[in-house]
């Protein structure tokens, strides 16, 4: 892995992890589903415009259309929708930690349901990841932890796992930026229904809200996706996914700096154990590199 790939991977991890802090600012001042639907509408239109400027087409292959629809529903509408609702009562750091377990859940699901063989290193990584989650949750129980919010985060990361598995081998054929834009527009379309039915639009306008909304629309939404595509093209999807082990660290650190969330000793220990587990699982999969996939942010 060269220095350029390393810098790209670090940039992606920071951008992906920062989305939770900016989302926390947004849902504290605006209805979560409406805000997310609007974000995807803007991001999607921008991505489609960029794709057209790059000469890309929305004439996708059947496999690409299936992957785009599944990803738009599971990743954008379900995963992020559930997380935005949950972060009204759940700290951004905890939401980021739960979401960061996605690579572990992908490996576990592949072993349990798709009959994929787990190497001893990957099995050890799964066990370590589960232990890390147990450390963090055990430290937070009894401290005002909102179990409903945690359950929504868990359902969200399960939806993200389904989206990731559905994309395997389905993204060949190019037009990646167009696919990014279309899956965002699909997510927006799915979210507008429950947003209009369940939410009353009451917004507490502030400079921080506008900045957070612009940031989450342009940086985690578009820039992180573009960097991920370049990184995957450079080093492959499985090697690129090793950078996910940094997400728990960055998620906790950014939430602490921007939102003043507490850094508990057991949280830090749990984050370190989860990160080690994710890295072990991904390194165990490197020899069998898979087809390119879109990112989970």
User: Is residue 293 a part of any domain in this protein?
Assistant: no
pLDDT tens digits, 214-236: 999 999 988 887 787 778 778 77
User: Is residue 222 a part of any domain in this protein?
Assistant: yes
- Identify the pLDDT of residue 179: 86
Answer yes or no: is pLDDT of 206 > 70. Answer: yes
What average pLDDT score do residues 56-79 get? 89
What average pLDDT score do residues 10-18 get? 93
> pLDDT-based confidence at 289, cuts 50/70/90?
very low
pLDDT tens digits, 137-184: 887 776 678 889 999 999 999 998 888 777 665 556 667 789 889 999
User: Is residue 294 a part of any domain in this protein?
Assistant: no
User: Is residue 296 a part of any domain in this protein?
Assistant: no
- Identify the pLDDT of residue 294: 47
Answer yes or no: is pLDDT of 128 > 80. Answer: yes
What average pLDDT score do residues 5-21 get? 93
User: Is residue 136 a part of any domain in this protein?
Assistant: yes
Answer yes or no: is pLDDT of 51 > 80. Answer: yes
User: Is residue 101 a part of any domain in this protein?
Assistant: yes
User: Is residue 295 a part of any domain in this protein?
Assistant: no
Burial of 184 (0-12, 13-18, 19+ CB in 10 A): buried
User: Is residue 250 a part of any domain in this protein?
Assistant: yes
The model's pTM is 0.87
What average pLDDT score do residues 119-126 get? 90
Answer yes or no: is pLDDT of 37 > 50. Answer: yes
- Identify the pLDDT of residue 71: 87
> pLDDT-based confidence at 22, cuts 50/70/90?
very high
- Please give the residue range of the domain that contains residue 12: 3-288
């Amino acid at each position: 892995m060269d220095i350029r790939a390393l810098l790209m991977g670090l940039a992606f991890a920071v951008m992906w992890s920062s989305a939770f802090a900016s989302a926390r600012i947004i849902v504290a001042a605006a209805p979560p589903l409406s805000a997310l639907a609007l974000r995807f509408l803007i991001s999607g239109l921008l991505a489609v415009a960029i794709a057209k400027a790059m000469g890309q087409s929305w004439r996708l292959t059947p496999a690409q259309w299936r992957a785009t629809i599944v990803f738009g529903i599971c990743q954008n509408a379900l995963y992020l929708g559930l997380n935005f609702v949950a972060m009204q009562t759940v700290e951004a750091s905890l939401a980021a930690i739960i979401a960061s377990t996605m690579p572990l859940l992908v490996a576990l699901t592949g072993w349990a349901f798709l009959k994929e063989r787990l190497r001893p290193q990957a099995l050890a990584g799964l066990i370590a990841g589960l232990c890390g989650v147990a450390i963090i949750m055990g430290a937070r129980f009894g401290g005002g932890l909102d179990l409903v919010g945690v359950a929504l985060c868990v359902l969200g990361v399960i939806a993200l796992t389904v989206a990731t598995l559905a994309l395997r081998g389905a993204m060949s054929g190019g037009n990646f930026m167009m696919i990014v834009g279309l899956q965002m527009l699909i997510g927006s379309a799915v979210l507008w229904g429950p947003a209009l039915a369940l939410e009353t639009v009451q917004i507490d306008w502030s400079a921080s809200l506008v900045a957070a909304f612009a940031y989450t629309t342009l940086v985690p939404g578009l820039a992180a996706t573009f960097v991920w595509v370049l990184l995957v093209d450079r080093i492959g999807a499985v090697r690129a996914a090793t950078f996910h082990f940094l997400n728990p660290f960055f998620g906790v650190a950014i939430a602490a700096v921007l939102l003043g969330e507490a850094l508990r000793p057991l949280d830090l220990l749990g984050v370190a154990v989860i990160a080690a587990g994710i890295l072990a699982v991904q390194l165990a999969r490197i020899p069998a590199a898979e087809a390119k996939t879109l990112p989970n942010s």
